[in-house]
Amino acid sequence: MGTKQGQGGRKPDGLGPLGVLSVCVLARLFLCLCVFLSISPAVTLSNSVFLFRLHVSASLSLLFSISGGRASVPTQRLARSGECQGRASRSRRPGGVKGPGGQTEPSEPRLLLRLRRIQIEGQRQRSAEMLPITEHMLHLLGLEKTAFRLYAVTGLLLALLFFLFRLLVQFLGLCWRFYITCRRLRCFPQPPRRNWLLGHLGMYLPNESGLQDENKVLESMHYVILVWLGPVLPLLVLMHPDYIKPLLGASAAVAPKDELFYGFLRPWLGDGLLLSKGDKWSRHRRLLTPAFHFDILKPYMKIFNQCTNIMHAKWRRLVEGSDVSLDMFEHISLMTLDTLQKCVFSYNSDYQEKMSDYISAIIELSALVVRRQYRLHHHLDFIYYRTADGRRFRQACDTVHHFTTEVIQERRRVLRQQGMEAWLKAKQGKTLDFIDVLLLARDEDGKEMSDEDIRAEADTFMFEGHDTTSSGLSWVFFNLAKYPEYQEKCREEIQEVMKNRELEELEWEDLTQLPFTTMCIKESLRKFPPVTMISRQCTEDVKLPDGRIIPKGIICLVSVYGTHYNPTVWPDAKVYNPYRFDPDNTEQRSPLAYMPFSAGPRNCIGQSFAMAEMRVAVALTLLRFRLSVDRTRKVRRKPELILRTEDGIWLKVEPLPPRA
C-alpha cells in the first residue's frame, strides 16, 4: 500500500480501530433504520439507500485513516472506484498534486482522502436537502460547521429513534392493557350504543329527557351497566346497594375520587376535603370531624332561624297583595349562602337583599364549572384560560380566595396578639365559627393546619354546603306544594311544637319533635337527590357480590339517582311517599338504598348541619306560608353539579295569618 505508518492515523485512547468501526457502522445502521422508518418526511427510499451506502463507506474510510491506511477489501474497492475520479481531476490539474514541501505524495492514500472528502461533502449536501429537522437542530446547537457534524446527525437521529421507540412501546402497552380491560368488561351488560365511535356519548343528556332515558334503562338493568364515552373510555355505572357496597365501603385509598369529574373544581377548592386524597385526606377528615359535632352545631340554630327569617321578610314584601310566584332556587340559594357565610366566617351582612362580590363570585364559579364540563375543548387548561370563561373563572377564584385569606389572616393576627388562653376566654358564650374550629384544630402530633389548608377547607364548605342544601330545600318545598295533604300534616306537627311559644324560633331539641317533616325531607332527597352521581376510580380490582370484578383503573359512577329509582329496591319509585321513611318501614332495606349524602369513609361530613338547616327552614316556612305549585310554569329537571331545573322552581307563597 505504501502508506507510512502513523500518517493521519492517531488512534483514539479508548477504542481500537475495530471498536470504532463497529460503533460507526452500528450507529449508521441505526441511522439508516431511522430513514427507512421515514422519520423525516423529506427522505425518500432511494435517498435512504444512498445514505446507507454513504454511511458504511464513510465508516470504512474512517477506519482506514485511524488504522494508518490499512484499508479493508471493500474500502480498496471503493478506493479503486474513487481513483477514476481522482485521475480525472488530476488530469484537469497540470503537474499533479504536490505535498507540503513540493514532494509528490503517494497516489493511493491521497485518492482515499479525497474520496472521503467527496463523500462527506456529498453527504452534507444531500442531508441538507433531505433532513430538514436534523439540519435545523444542528443549526440550533451550533454544530453545523464543526467536524462532529456527521456524528451529531447520527446522535440526534439515534435519540429520535430511541424516543419514537419508547413511544411505540408505550403505545403498544396501552393498547394491550386496553384490550385486556375490554375483555374483562365483557361480562357487564350495556344499553344499546349510538355507534362504535361515539358509544353512549350524548345519549343520556343532563336534562329531563336524559333522566327519563335513565329510568327506561332501569326497567331492564338493575345492578351495574357499562357505558362508553367515545370508543376508548368505558365507565361502570352502579345502581344497586349490593353492588355499591364494595366500592363505597372500600377504604379511601382503594377507591379515591377521580380527576375527570372533579378536576375542574381544583383551582377553586384546592386540596380541601372534597378533592384531597391519601394521608392528607385522612388527617384532615380526623381534624374536621369535631367541627360537625352537635356541640358545635347547636349554636348554629340561631343562625339558621335568623337567615330563614330574613328570607321570609323578603317574601312578604314581594308577594304583598299580589298573586305572584317566586323562584325557590334563587331565594333559597341566597339564604343558604348567607347561612354558611355566617357559620364559616361569622360574617354579618345583608346578602339576601344586596349581592356582594364574594357571593356573586361563588355563584359564577359554580355555573362556569358546569359550562366547562360540556365544552370538550375547554377541558384543556391552555385553551380554557385563554377564553372569556377561563378569564372570568380565574378572576372569580381570585375574589373568593382573597376574601377567605383575609379573614384567616386577620383571625390569626388577633389570636397571636391575644394569646390562646385570652382568645378562648373572649370566645366563651359566643358561637365558634368553622374558621375558629380549624384554627384551633391540632393533630395527634400537636401540628396545626396551615393557612392554605384552612382556606381550602373553608372554600370547600362554602361550595359543598350551599348549592346542595339549596337544591335539597327547593325540592322539598316543591313536593310539599305538590302534595298539600303532606304539607298540612307537617304544618300541624310544627304548630304543635310551637304551641304556647312566644318566639317563633326552633331549638336543637325541637328537631327530634318533627318526625313527619323529617320523613317528607328524606323522601324528597330520595326522589330528587341534590348529588345525582358520585364517581370513583379504583386503585385495585374490586370484587362484586356475584363474583364479577371491577378492573383496577376503571372509572365507576355510583348512580345515586339510579339507586333511588331502582324498582328492585324501591317499589313505585316515581311516587312521592314519605311513609317509606317511617321507622317501621326501614328495617328490611339496605342502608345503601338511600344515600343522598353518599356512604362509607368519604360520606358527607356536613350531613347533620344540612339536615338541621333544612328542618328549621321547612318548619318556619310552613308555619308562616302556604305553598302551592304555579301551574303556568313547567318544572323540568336538570342534573348539573347538583340537581337543578331548566327554569327554576316557581311556587306561590301565600302568607298565613299570624298565630293566635
Which parts are annotated binding residues?
604
Q: Stretches 76-84, 200-208, 458-466, 549-557: which one binds ligand HEM (CB under 6 A)?
A: 458-466
Tell me the CB-side half-sphere exposure of residue 238, using CA atoms within 13 A.
27
User: Of 463-522, which residues contact ligand HEM (CB under 6 A)?
Assistant: 464-465, 468-469, 472
Q: Stretches 123-131, 232-240, 462-470, 479-487: which one binds ligand HEM (CB under 6 A)?
A: 462-470
Q: Stretches 37-45, 71-79, 410-418, 526-534: which one binds ligand HEM (CB under 6 A)?
A: 526-534
- Of 109 and 606, CB closest to ligand HEM: 606
Interface mask toward ligand HEM for 585-624; x: CB under 6 A: -----------xxx---x-xxx--xx--------------
Residue 28 beta carbon to ligand HEM: minimum distance, rounded to whole angstroms: 57
Does position 250 bind ligand HEM by CB under 6 A? no
User: Of 531-560, which residues contact ligand HEM (CB under 6 A)?
Assistant: 531, 534
- Of 107 and 431, CB closest to ligand HEM: 431
- Closest among 299, 304, 567, 268 to 433, alpha carbons compared: 299
CA 330 – CA 274 distance, rounded (Å): 25
- Of 25 and 252, CB closest to ligand HEM: 252
- Looking at 224, 247, 273, 550, which residue binds ligand HEM (CB under 6 A)? 273
- Of 257 and 401, CB closest to ligand HEM: 257
Q: Are the CB atoms for 71 and 58 separated by under 8 Å?
A: no
Does position 265 bind ligand HEM by CB under 6 A? no
The x, y and z cell numbers of residue 602, run together, are 368519604
For helices 328-345 and 357-374, the axis angle rounded to 10 degrees is 120
Does position 441 bind ligand HEM by CB under 6 A? no
- Of 39 and 344, CB closest to ligand HEM: 344
* Cα-based distances in Å from 484 to 343, 493, 584, 645: 33, 14, 24, 21
Tell me the chain's radius of gyration from C-alpha atoms. 38
- Looking at 90, 126, 285, 298, which residue binds ligand HEM (CB under 6 A)? 285
Given the C-alpha cell 329496591, which residue does it identify?
A: 569
- 3-class secondary structure for 136-201? HHHHHHCCCCCCCHHHHHHHHHHHHHHHHHHHHHHHHHHHHHHHHHHHHHCCCCCCCCCECCCECC
Does position 257 bind ligand HEM by CB under 6 A? yes
Binding-site positions for heme read: 604
Residue 214 beta carbon to ligand HEM: minimum distance, rounded to whole angstroms: 18
| 325-327 sheet: strands from edge to edge | 325-327, 650-655, 625-629
| 224-229 sheet: strands from edge to edge | 224-229, 233-238, 555-559, 533-537
Does position 460 bind ligand HEM by CB under 6 A? yes
Q: Which residues contact 86 (CB under 8 A, 6 or more apart)?
A: 107, 110, 111, 114, 115
The x, y and z cell numbers of residue 654, run together, are 301565600
Residue 530 beta carbon to ligand HEM: minimum distance, rounded to whole angstroms: 4
Does position 274 bind ligand HEM by CB under 6 A? yes
Residue 643 beta carbon to ligand HEM: minimum distance, rounded to whole angstroms: 9
Q: Which residues contact 169 (CB under 8 A, 6 or more apart)?
A: none
The x, y and z cell numbers of residue 499, run together, are 304551641
Residue 528 beta carbon to ligand HEM: minimum distance, rounded to whole angstroms: 10
- Of 204 and 597, CB closest to ligand HEM: 597
Q: Stretches 100-108, 157-165, 203-211, 457-465: which one binds ligand HEM (CB under 6 A)?
A: 457-465
Q: Are the CB atoms for 603 and 464 separated by under 8 Å?
A: no
CA 283 – CA 243 distance, rounded (Å): 29
- Of 64 and 403, CB closest to ligand HEM: 403
Q: Are the CB atoms for 568 and 222 separated by under 8 Å?
A: yes
Query: Each residue of 317-345: b (16+ CB within 10 Å) or e?
Result: eebeeeeebbbbbebbbbbbbbbbbbbbb
Residue 36 beta carbon to ligand HEM: minimum distance, rounded to whole angstroms: 52
- Of 35 and 611, CB closest to ligand HEM: 611
- Looking at 64, 345, 351, 461, which residue binds ligand HEM (CB under 6 A)? 461
- Of 71 and 211, CB closest to ligand HEM: 211
For binding to ligand HEM (CB under 6 A), which residues are involved?
A: 257, 273-274, 285, 460-461, 464-465, 468-469, 472, 530-531, 534, 596-598, 602, 604-606, 609-610
